[in-house]
Amino acid sequence: MSGHEQTIRIFEHPGAGRRKAKATPKGRVIDPQAAHEIETLLGSRPRRRDLLIEYLHLIQDTCKQISAVHLAALADEMKLAFSEVFETATFYAHFDVVKEGDPAIPPLTIRVCDSLTCAMLGAERLLAQLQETAGPGVRVVRAPCVGRCDTAPVAEVGHNFVDHANVQNVLETVRRDDTHAHVPQYVEYEEYVARGGYQLLQRLRSGALATEDLLKALDDASLRGLGGAGFPTGRKWRSVLSVPGPRLMAINGDEGEPGTFKDRYYLERDPHRFLEGTLIGAHVVEAPDVYIYIRDEYPAVREILAREIDKLPPGGPVLHLRRGAGAYICGEESSLLESIEGKRGYPRHKPPYPFQVGLFGRPTLINNVETLFWVRDIVEQGAHWWKGHGRNDRVGLRSYSVSGRVKQPGVKLAPAGVTIRELIDEFCGGMADGHTLRAYLPGGASGGILPAAMDDIPLDFGTLEKYGCFIGSAAVVILSDQDDIKQAALNLMRFFEDESCGQCTPCRVGTQKAALLMSQDDWDQDLLGELSQAMRDASICGLGQAASNPLTSVIRYFTELFPARERAQ
């Protein structure tokens, strides 16, 4: 028994014989040294529950792990139950919680992305080689999509990303101890203002531009949410306004969908265009506070935003930067709110909807990063400018995140409604040498898989649903004749299995069972069909509801992979 445990008082019960209580601690004992370290680390920061995840990051960044004694000390310092702190810390993948008696975690971690595009380009081999050669003091683990699919395969050394990773350049990065995020060049505040930035916001705040006129411009342009749901932006802002305040605003910068990296692309290049759109939205719905939630895999973005927010002139809403911790589910809007509040990212049941009861119980406007990025251009240049773009009877622009077997992957700003063939040939330089188009994902991991024969479908909201697919955030992954379609679908299902929050049985068990069935050489199509239907019908949120889309697409469109089925027909 340790010294501090020996100081626990032993209470005596009244009554005959005055028997002594058993001399064992009741509850968790706080280690004095750990308590001092946590108190020092937090300093003068407020001890609010909604800052719990931020403080867990402080511990993780400082100690490279989170020990049980530090968790207990943090709970005591914040006046929270240990169970509340423990369940939050263990929910998120980027918190390395070391339980009592467990060995310490090595000081450096290398994460190798194993999501679809990286897997196609050799991630499994890279992972195995690094695990063999990294040496002592280095931990090598798998990681889900890190949002750099255009430079696959990717490894993360500390917080520094190695693009087009191989054993040599990753180990060289380790040798140089180059573990910090690299911030690219971007348009800073002074340059943005010199180019006319924030004039639209000033016109709105001064009354020179009426709120209704701004909303009408968004309505006329038919701007829709570009995070995936596609809800009309102007209508969403009006919905929030219709609910009595006080109101709040939250920004969803947690683009964890495999294949998606457009938000990172824009934030690392022109952050103030996004910030101006954010401040405009906050002004319209009269939100005094805005919470900007950025995924932990984007350290350079967080650094850029922290720098540039400090340069903004006083006045207007308070912008709070919040850091995700490795949980794909937090891209779902209600899970995002739970995480901002310092909790596990469990989806909420709806109704009520966030515009009615959102962050901290207040009506909340939630927008995706890219949606806000386009607000200034649409209002200044007019709805006709936005609607002047588009193909195949669609309107507007779309930022397609393209990765896989093309010569020039990356974010492609193209007319909404381009077909996959047009996107590949006109914007990506064609297929990679030696590769022929076999299949493509039109909307990321959950958007389904379509064969090359269906290369003439306009890529936009509402055009893919009848095929069992959707555009989502326009994450397009190109597969070729050299790729295994069934293995691609299995990779996606394993991603969903790993990222399921576990709150509801259809998703938690369904993704696990689906991955098990799909790992067999011969798929039980009837059973997989029943399982997929149950997941769609009964899962709480979109993760479980859409997780089976790649699976059902493969069964529906790639019949050549199931010869027994062809013979039966």
The secondary structure of 173-194 as a DSSP string is HHHTT--SPPPPP---HHHHHH
Distance CA 509, CA 490 (A): 16
Element (H, E) at 170: helix 167-175
- Are residue 506 and residue 450 in the same domain, yes or no? no
β-sheet bridge partners, residue 441: 477
| Residue listed under structure tokens 């239907």 | 533
Q: Of 10, 141, 238, 116, which is closest to residue 495 (Cα–Cα)? A: 116
Alpha carbons within 13 angstroms on the beta-carbon side of residue 212 total 0
C-alpha to C-alpha distances, 213 to 197, 216, 317, nearest whole angstrom: 19, 5, 21
DSSP string, 399-454: EEEEEESBSS-EEEEEETT--HHHIIIIIS-SBPTT--EEEEESSSTTS--EEGGG
Query: Quick one: tokens of 159?
Result: 């917080």
Tell me how many domains the chain contains.
5
Distance CA 197, CA 530 (A): 53
Among the three residues 176, 198, 216, which one is the final residue of a domain in this structure?
176
Predicted local confidence at residue 214, as pLDDT: 97
- Are residue 297 and residue 209 in the same domain, yes or no? yes
Do you know the residue count of the chain?
569
Predicted local confidence at residue 27, as pLDDT: 61
Distance CA 274, CA 265 (A): 12
Predicted local confidence at residue 564, as pLDDT: 66
- Are residue 376 and residue 421 in the same domain, yes or no? no
Residues of the chain with pLDDT below 50 are 1-25, 566-569
Give the range of the structural domain holding residue 149, as residue numbers without chain letter.
108-176
Element (H, E) at 291: strand 289-294
Predicted local confidence at residue 2, as pLDDT: 42
- Are residue 417 and residue 540 in the same domain, yes or no? no
Predicted local confidence at residue 565, as pLDDT: 55
Contact (Cβ atoms closer than 8 angstroms) between residue 405 and residue 259 = no
- Are residue 243 and residue 170 in the same domain, yes or no? no
Amino acid at 361: G
State the alpha helices, DSSP H only, in 20-159: 32-42, 52-63, 68-77, 82-91, 116-120, 123-133
Return the axis-axis angle of helices 52-63 and 82-91, rounded to nearest 10°: 70
Among the three residues 153, 176, 199, which one is the final residue of a domain in this structure?
176
**386, part of any domain:** no
CATH of the domain at 527: 1.20.1440.230
Amino acid at 209: L
**239, part of any domain:** yes
**26, part of any domain:** no
Predicted local confidence at residue 26, as pLDDT: 53
- Are residue 205 and residue 295 in the same domain, yes or no? yes
Q: Of 25, 101, 109, which is closest to residue 63 (Cα–Cα)? A: 109
**10, part of any domain:** no
CATH of the domain at 406: 3.10.20.600
**374, part of any domain:** yes
CATH of the domain at 166: 3.40.30.10
Distance CA 486, CA 484 (A): 6
- Are residue 357 and residue 420 in the same domain, yes or no? no
Predicted local confidence at residue 12, as pLDDT: 34
**19, part of any domain:** no
Query: Quick one: tokens of 310?
Result: 């400090």
- Are residue 526 and residue 540 in the same domain, yes or no? yes
Antiparallel, parallel or unpaired: β 160-162 and 155-157: antiparallel
User: Cis bond leading into 244, ω under 30°?
Assistant: no
Contact (Cβ atoms closer than 8 angstroms) between residue 110 and residue 170 = yes
- Are residue 220 and residue 339 in the same domain, yes or no? yes
Predicted local confidence at residue 272, as pLDDT: 98
- Are residue 321 and residue 372 in the same domain, yes or no? yes
Query: Quick one: tokens of 181?
Result: 């995020």
β-sheet bridge partners, residue 366: 250
Among the three residues 124, 153, 176, which one is the final residue of a domain in this structure?
176
